[in-house]
Amino acid sequence: MRKLLSAELNRKTAETYKESVKTPVIVVLDNVRSLNNIGSIFRTADAFLIEAIFLCGISATPPHKEIYKTALGAEENVAWKYFKSTVSAIDYLKTEGYELVAVEQTNESIPLDLYPICRKTRYALIFGNEIKGVDQEVIDLCSGSIEIPQFGTKHSFNVAVCAGIVLWEWFRRIK
């Protein structure tokens, strides 16, 4: 076994990335405060050909050196929009026909691996603030919620780690 060289990875160019068929998922960041988390989520979205990221409320937007530090340029490839509030992003997504799913522990949340994902449905996955999670007002507007099963003493993941797990599972099951 040997480590592959960068030239052997067959990475897309920015142009071919933008022309690629995207995974029908929009990531919605509900007041995510860490620019490093935002950058990491851009990088994950790039890896799984996510349609777009909606940055809401206090979530910072590119260009920003702290986002770039973890995104490594992915913020230039992944489409994004800023909304002053997550509710206004949700309103827009509803008019566009997206199914809204909060990534949050609720009394009705479904484990990620059991959530029925339909390949023909366009989804908006809402990830919350590092401390407060997804706002209840936003949860009230969603058709469902999912959670990642956890078995230790902590019952939360860093939002960027959570996004990586959820987006991988969504991508794997859709593709």
What is the pLDDT, as a whole number, of residue 37? 98
Q: What is the pLDDT of residues 128-162, one digit of tens each?
A: 999 999 999 999 999 999 999 999 999 899 999 99
Whether the Cβ atoms of residue 42 and residue 74 lie closer than 8 Å to each other = yes
Treating both helix axes as pointing N-terminal to C-terminal, what angle do 159-174 and 35-47 enclose, rounded to 10 degrees?
Answer: 10
CA dist 79 and 64 (Å) reads 16
Q: What is the pLDDT of residues 106-132, one digit of tens each?
A: 999 999 999 999 999 999 999 999 999
Options 1.10.150.120, 3.40.1280.10, 3.10.290.10, 3.40.50.620; CATH for 21-174 is 3.40.1280.10
Predicted structure pTM score: 0.96
**Domain layout of the chain by residue ranges:** 21-174
Please tell me the least confidently modeled range out of 56-60, 85-89, 151-155.
151-155
Confidence of residue 175 (pLDDT cuts 50, 70, 90): confident
